[in-house]
């Protein structure tokens, strides 16, 4: 990290222009945390990495300098929805900006290429995907000519964590962006992200061929967001009813997003919500570009209350009045979850981030991320977050992003800080060896434990536990996280299947003195009093 000593705001030659553009062009009265420092550094021609929470105002850090500079700023974004979102806002502000992608007409491409070289052009920002840099020789040729003519003023790489294979949204074409600093060394670069760790930033710096840079890092915390994890109802109809009850209750008429695991899920949830009177529309990668734009604009104009989306409705969505983000399934990583949930409450007013956790989601996602470098570990970090019923959610998020956080500062803005602290239930888990050659899926394992399913998979002389199925699922997930069990994958022509096997720490269970402590709630009702008795100590027998 390189330290840049900033002068007072009024001592820079561009200060009056910046101040005027903030008020007149962007209709803002003041800067947010680290915006001013970043603006001064990029206007001074320095290469910068900016880590700022979702909703912290990263886009202003390259849009405002673009307005205050000659020439144009090249912005690389990973998603069309992100570019369209920013362009809608810029158009409303009267700032000239455009995008180039595979759907651009020949006439539009020709116009952009002309504007890139016209010294009298008013075009200030050109948005492209990384694929445009990697695959379009024509566009690179125009960039070279614009650079030589002094027209390429700045390069902004949004969602810069996508460069690194250690990042949560790695995009192979981001690795080709190093050509920009090699070909255009005097054009300052600004890389922006909400979710990069120090390891990812160092990797991205190498990939982008940035020799020296200033790194600004803002706190992860969004004090207006309330974080909550809920148990996902096993019945699909009950699940939809639960979501509708929330939307028609505290969020009636208010804007929100529901994130789903798959295109199929998003379409099913959309259809179910519409039947129950919710103005909802689906957004996923397989929609036609014109349909994506229609949904995006309808939601931005509050004609659609809820967008039911996959991750394709992604990074950089900047609607200020989103009052809720509901996760129909958990995200595949903490980085993804932090970014997706961060689309709520960008107006700094209270908003809710509700995540529904289901045992089956672990194995749906693990089958998808098994080929990724650190995909499985990132998923297990997410599962651990969902399982934790005692520690402040902000502390858990802070730990993931290498930041120290005092739970007293949460101000009861998460479910764990609002509930009474749970006592810990001690469970002695004894291994019952059974030499079966048949592979066990998680479902088969739990059925066998409950004394159900195929008879040959059951273990003799072990009574089924008295805990409900969802608590048994929590125990199995805990065993996976603690490596008493591990996932084993089988690949077919049509699917990747997750099985469970003995994990590297399973031998510890052979010691009868070995005790596993985990958080859990039995929530049993007293027959006489009709009240909750709280946590019960249980001796559970576990087998392989």
Pick from 428, 427, 410: which is nearest to 419 by CA? 410
Q: Would you state the structure tokens that stand for residue 390, as one six-digit string? A: 């005692």
Pick from 378, 343, 341, 325: which is nearest to 81 by CA? 343
263-275 helix and 236-249 helix, angle to the nearest 10 degrees: 60
Residue 402 region, left (φ>0) first, then alpha (ψ -120 to 50), else beta? left
Question: Is the pLDDT assigned to residue 228 strictly greater than 80?
Answer: yes
Confidence grade of residue 190 (pLDDT, cut at 50, 70, 90): very high
Distance CA 47, CA 66 (A): 15
Residue 88 · residue 230 · CB < 8 Å:
no
Residues β-bridged to residue 229:
355
Q: How many CB atoms lie within 10 A of CB 36?
A: 17
**Which residues fall within 8 angstroms of residue 211, CB to CB, at 6 or more apart?**
47
Question: Is the pLDDT assigned to residue 169 strictly greater than 90?
Answer: no
β-pairing verdict for 516-518 and 540-543: unpaired
pLDDT at 523: 46
Enter the CATH code of domain 425-543: 1.10.10.10
Residue 413 · residue 227 · CB < 8 Å:
yes
Longest dimension (CA), the chain: 85
Question: Is the pLDDT assigned to residue 156 strictly greater than 50?
Answer: yes
Residue 184 Cα distances to 58, 147, 179, 262, angstroms: 23, 7, 8, 40
> How many residues does this entry show for the chain?
544
β-pairing verdict for 72-76 and 97-100: unpaired
Q: Is 58 a catalytic residue?
A: yes
pLDDT at 411: 94
Q: Would you state the structure tokens that stand for residue 31, as one six-digit string? A: 């800067």
Confidence grade of residue 532 (pLDDT, cut at 50, 70, 90): very low
Confidence grade of residue 168 (pLDDT, cut at 50, 70, 90): low
Q: Would you state the structure tokens that stand for residue 210, as one six-digit string? A: 């940035």
Residue 298 · residue 282 · CB < 8 Å:
no
Question: Is the pLDDT assigned to residue 329 strictly greater than 50?
Answer: yes
Percentages of the chain per state (helix, strand, coil), in multiples of 5: 40, 20, 40
**DSSP character at residue 461:** T
First vs last C-alpha separation in the chain: 50
Residue 131 · residue 166 · CB < 8 Å:
no
106-117 helix and 137-148 helix, angle to the nearest 10 degrees: 20
Q: Would you state the structure tokens that stand for residue 61, as one six-digit string? A: 């850090």
pLDDT at 500: 86
Distance CA 299, CA 297 (A): 5
**DSSP character at residue 525:** B
Residue 423 · residue 521 · CB < 8 Å:
no
pLDDT at 434: 39
Confidence grade of residue 544 (pLDDT, cut at 50, 70, 90): very low
pLDDT digits (tens, 9 = 90+) for 81-95: 778 889 988 999 999
**DSSP character at residue 414:** B
pLDDT at 426: 45
Between residues 429 and 448, which one has the greater pLDDT?
A: 448
Fold of 9-217: Rossmann fold (3.40.50)
Distance CA 183, CA 166 (A): 26
Domain span(s) for CATH 3.40.50.300 in the chain: 9-217, 230-387
DSSP 290-329: HHHHHHHHHHHTTSSSEEEE-TTS-TT---TTEEEEEESS
* H helix or E strand, kind and range, residue 252: none
Residue 534 region, left (φ>0) first, then alpha (ψ -120 to 50), else beta? left
Highest mean pLDDT among 51-55, 280-284, 501-505: 280-284
Question: Is the pLDDT assigned to residue 41 strictly greater than 60?
Answer: yes
289-300 helix and 80-93 helix, angle to the nearest 10 degrees: 50
What average pLDDT is seen over the chain? 84
* H helix or E strand, kind and range, residue 363: helix 359-369
Confidence grade of residue 285 (pLDDT, cut at 50, 70, 90): confident
Pick from 47, 50, 21, 13: which is nearest to 35 by CA? 50
Pick from 260, 316, 261: which is nearest to 59 by CA? 316
Distance CA 540, CA 429 (A): 6
pLDDT at 430: 38
Domain 230-387 homologous superfamily, CATH = P-loop containing nucleotide triphosphate hydrolases (3.40.50.300)
Question: Is the pLDDT assigned to residue 456 strictly greater than 80?
Answer: no
In the block, tokens 């553009």 appear at 21
Confidence grade of residue 460 (pLDDT, cut at 50, 70, 90): low
Domain span(s) for CATH 1.10.10.10 in the chain: 425-543
Phi, psi of 344 (to 5 degrees): -85, 145
Among the options 58, 142, 181, 292, which is catalytic? 58
Question: Is the pLDDT assigned to residue 512 strictly greater than 80?
Answer: no
Confidence grade of residue 475 (pLDDT, cut at 50, 70, 90): confident
Distance CA 503, CA 486 (A): 5
């Amino acid at each position: 990290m390189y330290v840049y000593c900033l002068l007072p705001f009024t001592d820079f030659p561009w200060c009056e222009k910046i101040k005027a553009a903030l008020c007149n062009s962007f209709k803002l009265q003041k800067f947010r945390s680290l915006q001013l420092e970043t603006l001064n550094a990029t206007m001074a021609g320095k290469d910068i990495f900016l880590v700022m929470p979702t909703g912290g105002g990263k886009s202003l850090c390259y849009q405002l300098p673009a307005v205050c500079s000659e020439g144009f700023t090249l912005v690389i974004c990973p998603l069309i929805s992100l570019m369209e979102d920013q362009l809608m806002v810029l158009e409303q502000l009267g700032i000239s900006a455009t995008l180039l992608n595979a759907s651009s007409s020949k006439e539009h491409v020709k116009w952009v290429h002309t504007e890139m070289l016209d010294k009298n052009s008013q075009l200030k920002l050109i948005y492209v995907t990384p694929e445009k840099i990697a695959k379009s020789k024509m566009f690179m040729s125009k960039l070279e000519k614009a650079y030589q003519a002094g027209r390429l003023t700045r390069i902004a790489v949004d969602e810069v964590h996508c460069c690194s294979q250690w990042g949560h949204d790695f995009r192979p074409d981001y690795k080709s962006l190093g050509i920009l600093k090699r070909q255009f060394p005097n054009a300052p670069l600004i890389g922006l992200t909400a979710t990069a760790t120090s390891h990812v930033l160092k990797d991205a710096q190498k990939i982008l061929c940035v020799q020296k840079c200033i790194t600004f890092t803002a706190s992860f915390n969004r004090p207006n967001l309330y974080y909550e994890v809920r148990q996902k109802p096993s019945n699909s109809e009950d699940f939809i009813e639960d979501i509708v009850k929330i939307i028609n209750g505290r969020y009636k008429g208010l804007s929100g997003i529901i994130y789903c695991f798959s295109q199929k899920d998003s379409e099913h949830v959309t259809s179910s919500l519409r039947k129950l009177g919710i103005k909802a529309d689906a957004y996923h990668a397989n929609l036609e570009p014109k349909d994506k734009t229609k949904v995006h604009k309808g939601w931005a104009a509050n004609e659609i209350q809820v967008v039911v989306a996959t991750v394709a409705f992604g990074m950089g969505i900047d609607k200020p009045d989103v009052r809720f983000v509901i996760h129909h399934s958990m995200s595949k990583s903490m980085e993804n979850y932090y970014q997706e949930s961060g689309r709520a409450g960008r107006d700094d007013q209270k908003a809710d981030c509700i995540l529904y956790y289901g045992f089956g989601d672990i194995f749906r996602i693990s089958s998808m991320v098994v080929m990724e470098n650190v995909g499985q570990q990132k998923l297990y970090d997410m599962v651990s977050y969902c399982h934790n019923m005692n520690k402040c959610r902000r502390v858990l998020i802070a730990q993931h992003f290498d930041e120290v956080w005092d739970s007293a500062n949460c101000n009861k803005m998460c479910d764990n800080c609002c509930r009474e602290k749970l006592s810990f239930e001690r469970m002695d888990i004894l291994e019952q060896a059974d030499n079966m050659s048949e592979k066990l899926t998680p479902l088969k394992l739990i059925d066998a434990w409950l004394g159900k399913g195929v008879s040959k998979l059951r273990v003799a002389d072990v009574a089924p536990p008295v805990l409900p199925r969802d608590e048994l699922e929590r125990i199995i997930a805990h065993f996976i996280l603690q490596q008493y069990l591990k996932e084993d994958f089988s690949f077919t022509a049509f699917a990747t299947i997750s099985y469970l096997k003995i994990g590297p720490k399973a031998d510890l269970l052979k010691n009868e003195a070995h005790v596993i402590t985990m958080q859990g709630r039995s929530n049993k009702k007293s027959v006489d009093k009709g009240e909750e008795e709280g946590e019960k100590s249980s001796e559970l027998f576990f087998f392989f």
